[in-house]
């Protein structure tokens, strides 16, 4: 009799587990369908194209800014930056008098125009970044079904504030990473520990976690403060978690391609890498929008479930 009772209990547990799994699968399928339908209604691929265009537009002044910074850094790193550039070019290309002259003139011009190039790049980069945040505001308005807008002037002021905050986060991320890397290197040297395979793996994992943390914080702030009406922390955290995990996976896949597959010795290899970079930027924008869609559908499902419980 006791064995029959135990068998009956096990059977009941099995039925309950199967019912719970079936309910989870049904809810998951329903959630996925709702996200798919809302993404189609919002036309996320068109919105992603607008975001990707503004990212590529911002890349041009960013390169000017980098060139200006290089113009300041080169004379401090090398006593003769012109000769250093010539030596590097001759190490990868056949020797040529015209090539040597071009390299020297290029470095001279880079150093002479560094201030103007840097300031021009900075101004254009701030303008392009503000455009990017403006497009992100429009996207969030569609994703979270908002009616009101910030207006032209107040919207641009808000975009400039977001550029400033994002820049602070980027500088903080870079600074903390460099400081921690220096502390780790000093600590390893002070303790006399060799740079073994296990230690390298730990440092790589730590760097990945730190990068994900700053990425996650950035997405949380964007999803919460970019829309006209502040979204609840719950929605921002759901959206940032989805976007952060998927985006980091895509970033790892792109880094793997660049490191292991990409060929830079041929024209077609470099062109293929550039094309894949553009596609990666575009689908990163798709993931960003999809994160907002997932969070919005999650919130609507939660509200619908609470209303159903109240009616029952």
Q: Which residue, among 30, 122, 110, 35, has the nearest Cα to 73 in the 3D structure?
A: 110
Structure confidence at residue 169 (pLDDT): 77
Query: What's the pLDDT tens digit per position in 181-228?
Result: 666 666 555 555 555 566 666 766 777 787 788 888 889 988 998 888
Structure confidence at residue 209 (pLDDT): 80
Interior angle at CA 91, CA 87 and CA 94, nearest 5: 105
pTM of this prediction? 0.77
Residue 276 pLDDT more than 90? no
Report CA-CA distances (Å) from 143 to 291, 292, 299. Answer: 10, 6, 12
Query: DSSP of 196-248, one letter per residue?
Result: -HHHHHHHHHHHHHHHHHHHHHHHHHHHHHSSSSPPPHHHHHHHHHHHHHHHH
């Amino acid at each position: 009799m006791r064995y029959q009772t135990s068998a009956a209990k096990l059977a009941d547990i099995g039925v309950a587990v199967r019912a719970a799994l079936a309910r989870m699968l049904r809810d998951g399928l329903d959630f996925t369908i709702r996200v798919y339908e809302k993404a189609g209604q919002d036309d996320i691929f068109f919105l992603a194209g607008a975001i990707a265009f503004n990212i590529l537009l911002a890349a041009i002044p960013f390169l000017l800014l980098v060139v200006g910074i290089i113009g300041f850094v080169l004379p401090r790193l090398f006593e003769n930056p012109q000769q250093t550039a010539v030596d590097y070019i001759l190490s990868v290309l056949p020797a040529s008098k015209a090539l040597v002259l071009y390299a020297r003139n290029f470095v001279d011009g880079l150093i002479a125009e560094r201030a103007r190039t840097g300031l021009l790049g900075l101004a254009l980069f701030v303008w392009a970044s503000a455009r990017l945040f403006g497009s992100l505001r429009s996207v969030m308005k569609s994703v979270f079904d908002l009616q009101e807008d910030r207006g032209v002037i107040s919207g641009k002021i808000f975009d400039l504030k977001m550029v400033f905050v994002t820049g602070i986060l980027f500088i903080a991320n870079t600074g903390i990473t460099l400081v921690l890397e220096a502390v780790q290197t000093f600590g390893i040297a002070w303790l006399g520990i060799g740079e073994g395979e296990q230690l390298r793996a730990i440092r790589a994992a730590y760097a990945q976690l730190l990068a994900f943390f700053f990425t996650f914080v950035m997405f949380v702030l964007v999803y919460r403060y970019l829309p006209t009406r502040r979204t609840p922390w719950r929605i921002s955290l759901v959206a940032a978690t989805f976007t952060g995990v998927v985006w980091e996976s895509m970033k790892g896949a792109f880094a793997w391609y660049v490191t292991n597959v990409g060929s830079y010795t041929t024209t077609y290899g470099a062109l293929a890498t550039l094309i894949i970079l553009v596609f990666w930027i575009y689908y990163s924008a798709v993931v960003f929008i999809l994160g907002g869609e997932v969070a919005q559908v999650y919130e609507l499902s939660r509200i619908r479930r609470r209303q159903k419980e109240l009616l029952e």
